[in-house]
Amino acid sequence: MENSTDSTAMNFILLGLFDYTKTHRVLFSLVFMTFITSLVGNILMILLIHTDPRLHTPMYFLLSQLSLMDLMLVSTIIPKMAANYLLNSRSISPAGCFSQIFLLLTLGGGECFLLSAMSYDRYVAICHPLCYHVLMSHKLCSQLVAGSWLLGEIDGLMQASAALSFPYCHSREIDHFFCEAPSLMRLVCADTTVFEFFMYICCILMLLIPLSLIVASYSLILAAVLRMHSAAARKKALTTCSSHLVVVAMFYGTLMVIYMRPRSYHSVGHSKVVSAFYTIFTPVLNPLIYSVRNKDVKGAFRNWLGKTHAM
């Protein structure tokens, strides 16, 4: 019994995103429906890409990995948040907190590099179409995906291990709806200057370097598009790239607000809203953005529906 009591005392308390007022219950229902929609949308995107031969290209393989990362991201956060809310429990163990930080940083960092790989794929497809299958081979595509996952895992492991190595104050109350390194730092009863500098350097490596590659790729793409003589070709290129740019802007914008602002500028309420955007709403928007204006995905979906009805 003493061990159980000690273990409970070591747990963190997540203050959550909602209270039990009528308005917040409605908001919780909307968030949970968004979670279900995100699960269905990303699973469907993965199934379509892997079952339809027309989508067996590097671009769609990278897109399937993005959907997998988004699927894992919402599954890391929302089920625990929903369980705590429905059971009126706010506790999370140190192991659970470590898992959330590790998976969030792994998936967030991996997605940063994956988005840069997707921008390189669009650069090759538009600027060097005749050499596309050489410059974007299946081997290189697999290496880019593996590298994205590996770099994300390294970043996640280092930061999660460091964040949970500090002594924490007695309350252990995290004013958030999941364990996130910046929120956890507010509870530390020690000097965190070195860790915050280390975290800032990691953010430069994981955010700004991939973002620089994306900006460079799209600058070259824009220059190539402006030189195109065919209006139809320009429209197709811009339509394909605009979807990716919207995803990049949403994802990088929210991450940079959370992880690259000085600590003195962090507002708890603001951080919760921004975190909710990239952990809840971005994963549900990605499959919509990539499918609504994409004829190949819509065609694959119609074929899948036809096969389902035939069965």
Tokens representing residue 267 in the block = 């507002």
Tokens representing residue 296 in the block = 């190949």
Q: Using pLDDT thresholds of 50, 70 and 90, give the confidence band for residue 4.
A: very low
66 within 8 A of 118, measured Cβ to Cβ: yes
Q: At what angle do helices 58-86 and 94-127 cross, to 10 degrees?
A: 160
Q: What is the pLDDT of residues 140-172, one digit of tens each?
A: 999 999 999 999 999 999 989 988 888 887 678
- From CA 244, how far away is CA 241, in angstroms rounded? 5
Average pLDDT over residues 229-235: 76
Q: Is the pLDDT of residue 122 over 80?
A: yes
96 within 8 A of 80, measured Cβ to Cβ: yes
Give the pTM: 0.88
- Residues present in the chain in total: 311
Half-sphere exposure of 284 (CA within 13 A, CB side): 19
Q: Which neighbouring-strand residues pair with 12?
A: 92
Percentage of the chain lying above the pLDDT 90 cut? 35
Look at 132-141, 177-186, 269-278 and tell me which has the smallest mean pLDDT.
269-278
Phi, psi of 13 (to 5 degrees): -115, 120
Q: Is the pLDDT of residue 255 over 90?
A: no
- Residue ranges of alpha helices (H) inside the chain are 2-10, 22-51, 58-86, 94-127, 132-135, 138-163, 181-185, 193-203, 209-227, 231-259, 268-276, 282-292, 295-310
Q: What is the pLDDT of residues 60-115, one digit of tens each?
A: 999 999 999 999 999 999 999 999 999 988 899 999 999 999 999 999 999 999 99
**pLDDT at res. 1:** 45
- From CA 229, how far away is CA 234, in angstroms rounded? 8
Q: What is the pLDDT of residues 171-224, one digit of tens each?
A: 788 888 899 888 888 888 888 888 888 888 887 888 888 989 998 998 898 888
Amino acid type, 10? M
**pLDDT at res. 103:** 94
Look at 46-50, 79-83, 125-129, 231-235 and tell me which has the smallest mean pLDDT.
231-235
